[in-house]
Amino acid sequence: MFSKTTKPSGRSVSLLRYWTTRYVLVLLGSLFVIGVIAIYWVRSNAYEQSFELMELRAFQLADLCAQVLNGPGSLEKLKHLKEIRTNRSVIQLMDHQGHLSILSNGKYEEIASTLPDHTRLFTEILHGQSTREVIPVDGQTWLRVGVPIPEEIPHGSGLFLSVPATDVLPKFEQLYGPIASLIGSVALAGWLVIYFLSRKLTSPLRQVAEAAQMIAEGGYDPDLPKEVKERELQQLITSFRDMAERLKQLEQMRTELLAGVSHELRTPITSIRGMIQAVLGKVVTDEEADEFLQISLEEAKRLQKMVEDLLSFSSFEAGAIPLQKNPVELAALVEEVIQQLRVLSQFADVRIERDLPENAVWIQGDAGLLRQILINLLNNSRAASPPDTTIRVTLRERDGQIELDVQDEGRGIPPEEQPFIFERFYRGKNGQKQNRGLGLGLTISRMLAQAHGGDLVLVQTSPAGTTFRIILPVFPHRKQHKASP
């Protein structure tokens, strides 16, 4: 009944896991980059602030040196000043000849002699500029700034202040923990947010996937959410529900079709077999035998017609419609079909009225196939109408196209059946009881109309009657031709 379903590959993952995993990876990568940038910015900002404080301190010391050295005294006086003695740094004075004097006391006095040479920067100081350096000293990082002394003095023209980085910079290692904790907290919060959002978003999708699996297994009543806030998901669910309902109806139609076609084909075969056996067995003779043979012939013709309909439908559905287009005058074709049907017994009590234009109406098409469409519509109208009825055929040209209406006084088509009247093998409830056919007439007629570049549509239906319309394109060179024979 159903084709074998293919199970998902073992490598496939759920949509929730797929997106949350990728989001977390992207989030962690982004936070890592942000963390690196943040650490770099913090370090750069810390260095900048430390250099600014050191420059401020160096300018203060330079002013102090200028005051002391301009008066009576010597460098020894500077070394004993409180500002110099208690300063946790290396202070160096350099005169205009490049001679260096060390003012530092305490634990940094021995280190002062190991500081890298700074004579290359002295030119900048002589021009009134300050300098900044990051220098290595005995495996440690030091910061050094140089500033000019305000006034020219015999013992110095510039002052250098050097400080270990550990004394002025924060311990960056202590910042890594809080930054890592912050990144982890943001990552966790982001993952929770995207997890619950993705779960909410994928929940209706999972239900749709389960519903699709149910339909694949033959169930057509899936449990789908009634409403979701997301418009696209609501459209998906609504469309899927409509599709499931339509599949359910089509499956029901298919089941009924198999039973109906089997019955329709078996009935004439059984009838023919029984009647022929009766004739061969001499159960009936003479005129009664002839009547049995005549009935068998009619049943054989009906059986042949059903087989031809099946073959035609299969051919048309494959796109192999044998269309031979020629100029056709449609009004003349309508008259011909009406005259052809009037002589049939089933149309003996039917009045066929026609409303045809005075001027010729030309189309480019296959006269035989167009005749088949019209005959099928008229036969359907007759089958749906009561005795002593009227069928009206109207032909008009409007809005650049030709419209051919067939209107009857039949019982109409129930609203629940109207969406399916052009479906293959659909006969409706009344058709199943009264019509002896396969339900391919309207399907084939519509295919033929569409093959001519037109269509066959239901215009209106009610308990008072039904109107079908054949729509065909106008033949642009119709005035150059005469009616087809």
340-369 pLDDT, tens digit per residue, is 888 888 888 899 999 999 888 899 998 988
C-alpha–C-alpha distance, residues 100 and 429, integer Å? 115
The CATH number covering residue 37 comes to 3.30.450.20
Which residues have CB under 8 Å from 284's CB, separation 6+? 278, 291, 292
Q: Is residue 13 part of a domain?
A: no
332 and 294 both lie in a single domain = no
pLDDT of residue 468: 95
Q: Is residue 260 part of a domain?
A: yes
Look at residues 293, 320, 347 and tell me which one is the last residue of a structural domain.
320
316 and 374 both lie in a single domain = no
263 and 394 both lie in a single domain = no
pLDDT over 90, % of the chain: 13
- The residue type of 367 is A
Look at residues 258, 286, 320 and tell me which one is the last residue of a structural domain.
320
Whole-number average pLDDT of the chain: 78
107 and 24 both lie in a single domain = yes
295 and 355 both lie in a single domain = no
Structural contact between residues 89 and 104, judged by C-beta atoms closer than 8 angstroms: yes
Q: Is pLDDT above 80 for 372? A: yes
More confident residue, 450 or 191: 450
115 and 253 both lie in a single domain = no
Structural contact between residues 267 and 258, judged by C-beta atoms closer than 8 angstroms: no
The CATH number covering residue 296 comes to 1.10.287.130
Q: Is pLDDT above 90 for 374? A: yes
Look at residues 287, 320, 353 and tell me which one is the last residue of a structural domain.
320
Q: Which of 159-168, 241-250, 262-271 shows the lowest per-residue confidence on average (mean pLDDT)?
A: 262-271
101 and 164 both lie in a single domain = yes
| Overall pTM > 0.75 | no
Q: Is pLDDT above 80 for 259? A: no
More confident residue, 181 or 99: 181
Q: Is residue 219 part of a domain?
A: no
The CATH number covering residue 342 comes to 3.30.565.10
Q: Is residue 8 part of a domain?
A: no
Q: Is residue 166 part of a domain?
A: yes
More confident residue, 370 or 429: 370
139 and 247 both lie in a single domain = no
More confident residue, 449 or 191: 449
Domain range for residue 78?
Answer: 18-174
More confident residue, 106 or 82: 82
pLDDT of residue 482: 45
The count of structural domains within the chain is 3
C-alpha–C-alpha distance, residues 456 and 373, integer Å? 9
Mean pLDDT of 250-256: 73
C-alpha–C-alpha distance, residues 88 and 91, integer Å? 9
Q: Is residue 206 part of a domain?
A: no
> If you average pLDDT over each of 428-432, 439-443, 473-477, which comes out highest?
439-443
Q: Is residue 115 part of a domain?
A: yes
The model's confidence at residue 485, banded by pLDDT at 50, 70 and 90, is very low
Q: Is pLDDT above 50 for 484? A: no
Digit-coded pLDDT (tens) for 187-235: 888 888 888 877 777 777 777 777 888 877 777 777 777 777 777 777 8
Q: Is residue 376 part of a domain?
A: yes
Q: Is pLDDT above 80 for 57? A: yes
Digit-coded pLDDT (tens) for 276-334: 888 888 888 888 888 888 888 888 887 887 777 777 766 666 666 677 888 999 999 99
pLDDT of residue 394: 95
388 and 461 both lie in a single domain = yes
pLDDT of residue 480: 46
261 and 331 both lie in a single domain = no
435 and 353 both lie in a single domain = yes
> 393: closest CA among 373, 382, 408, 412?
408
> If you average pLDDT over each of 12-26, 116-130, 230-244, 245-259, which comes out highest?
230-244
Query: What is the b/e burial string over 433-469, where b = at least 16 CB atoms within 10 angstroms of the residue's CB?
Result: eebebbbbbbbbbbbbbebbebebeeeebeeebbbbb
The model's confidence at residue 481, banded by pLDDT at 50, 70 and 90, is very low
421 and 331 both lie in a single domain = yes
Digit-coded pLDDT (tens) for 86-134: 556 788 777 766 666 666 655 666 666 667 666 666 777 767 788 888 8
pLDDT of residue 185: 84
Q: Is pLDDT above 80 for 266? A: no
pLDDT of residue 319: 65
